[in-house]
Amino acid sequence: MSEQPVPFLDLASVNGDLRAEYEAAFSTVLGHGKFIGGPEVGKFEAEFAEYCQARAAVGCGNGTDALELILKGLGIGPGDEVIVPANTFIATVEAVLYVGARPRFVDVLPDTLLIDPDAANAAVNKNTAAVIGVHLFGQMVDIDRVLEVTRRHGIAFIEDAAQAQGAEFDGKRAGSQGVATGFSFYPGKNLGALGDAGAVVTQDTELADKIRRIADHGRSAESRFLHDLVGRNSRMDSVLAAGLSIKLRGLDKANAGRLRAWKQYVEELPSAVRPVSTHPKAAAVHHVAVVEVENRDKVCTALDEAGVGWGLHYKTPCHLDSAYTQFTESLPVVEAAAERILSLPMSPNMTEQQVSRVCEVLRGVTG
């Protein structure tokens, strides 16, 4: 058995095969000089919208901006509440606070660690404007049940699909069912750019147009010399869009590589290391490989000693994080899970030997 170190994620190796294609694309962009919003951006937007089974995509600066632009575009702001799961990357919460709305944290389901639709339903009040369903770890939320809640109350359903490019629930893609969906192309995401980038995806082309204008300083559709909305600057760079088009062609294959590694983990992990569940209707894209263990500190030490990378998604539930202490909810499922969760190495090109090595180290420490 190989005792080679296993990195958590090796981005140089994930992107290395594409070097020649990237270099050709850079050269094209250098040649035309339209560095922001050039033809590569429109091309990628069209390809990505189609990939997501949606009508429109708007490229922007990053995934956090994508969520903020959606909330702005929907007119959500001061006085409004937005329901968010407490188990998410902090960016989901930042977007809500940056538009002046109030996040309302709800608990997650114990098996998938994704938003609990009943908890979301119970949290709705007269100020609730939207629910953000976060497709965490590469698995979509139970979208049928969440949509039932948002339809019953007449509020918006927004998807945070930063970790779920290509994921499906009941055959429908992430990005196809929310009022709008925020995607991140942070380099480590399943569809990762060569820098910071993001996109808003939606079936609503009017909303897409409005968001595009907000992200471009509120520029008027009639004249580029007029600004009829108070906007901001969050646009996509042409080189990054060109790289994303290249990467998108290989996304299904990359996600299949992640699924293969995940299935091997599920088979080979010792019984004291429990993988999070996948809903029977979900086709997950395994952005991170999350398991639960009881003696996590000891396990992490053993992984460190063996040179196996690991992560925590997330060590502190958002409502308990130090900038957010005004939110005093008690959310027992996420709080208990935060003590046990552990993310194992995961990447599109993980080898069978690497997964076996990680499982062997875990077997050694959990007995």
User: Cβ 223 to ligand PLP, closest distance in Å?
Assistant: 31
| 57: β partners | 201
Q: Tell me the H-state helices in 117-180.
A: 117-123, 143-153
Is residue 181 within 8 Å of residue 200, measured between CB atoms?
A: yes
User: Residue 193 or residue 207: which is nearer to ligand PLP going by CB?
Assistant: 193
d(CA 309, CA 65): 29
d(CA 116, CA 128): 16
- Cα→Cα distances 174→138, 154, 354, Å: 10, 21, 29
User: Residue 69 or residue 134: which is nearer to ligand PLP going by CB?
Assistant: 134
User: Residue 262 or residue 314: which is nearer to ligand PLP going by CB?
Assistant: 314
Q: Give me the helix-helix angle, 19-32 and 238-249, nearest 10°.
A: 150
User: Cβ 14 to ligand PLP, closest distance in Å?
Assistant: 16
User: Residue 107 or residue 196: which is nearer to ligand PLP going by CB?
Assistant: 196
Residues of 38-52 as b/e, b for ≥16 C-beta within 10 angstroms? bebbeebbebbbebb
User: Cβ 61 to ligand PLP, closest distance in Å?
Assistant: 8
Residues of 292-302 as b/e, b for ≥16 C-beta within 10 angstroms? bbeebeebbeb
Q: Please tell me whether residue 291 adopts helix, strand or coil conformation.
A: strand
User: Residue 344 or residue 362: which is nearer to ligand PLP going by CB?
Assistant: 344
d(CA 161, CA 213): 22
d(CA 189, CA 208): 23
Q: Which residue is nearest to ligand PLP (CB)?
A: 63
User: Residue 29 or residue 236: which is nearer to ligand PLP going by CB?
Assistant: 236
User: Residue 165 or residue 238: which is nearer to ligand PLP going by CB?
Assistant: 165
Is residue 359 within 8 Å of residue 271, measured between CB atoms?
A: no
What is the amino acid identity at position 28?
Answer: T
What is the amino acid identity at position 104?
Answer: R
Is residue 107 within 8 Å of residue 334, measured between CB atoms?
A: yes
User: Residue 121 or residue 184: which is nearer to ligand PLP going by CB?
Assistant: 184
Structure tokens at 274: 């429990």
Contact set with ligand PLP (CB under 6 A): 62-64, 88-89, 91-92, 134, 160, 162-163, 184, 186, 196, 198
User: Residue 123 or residue 193: which is nearer to ligand PLP going by CB?
Assistant: 193
- Cα→Cα distances 134→61, 101, 108, 175, 306, Å: 19, 18, 11, 11, 33
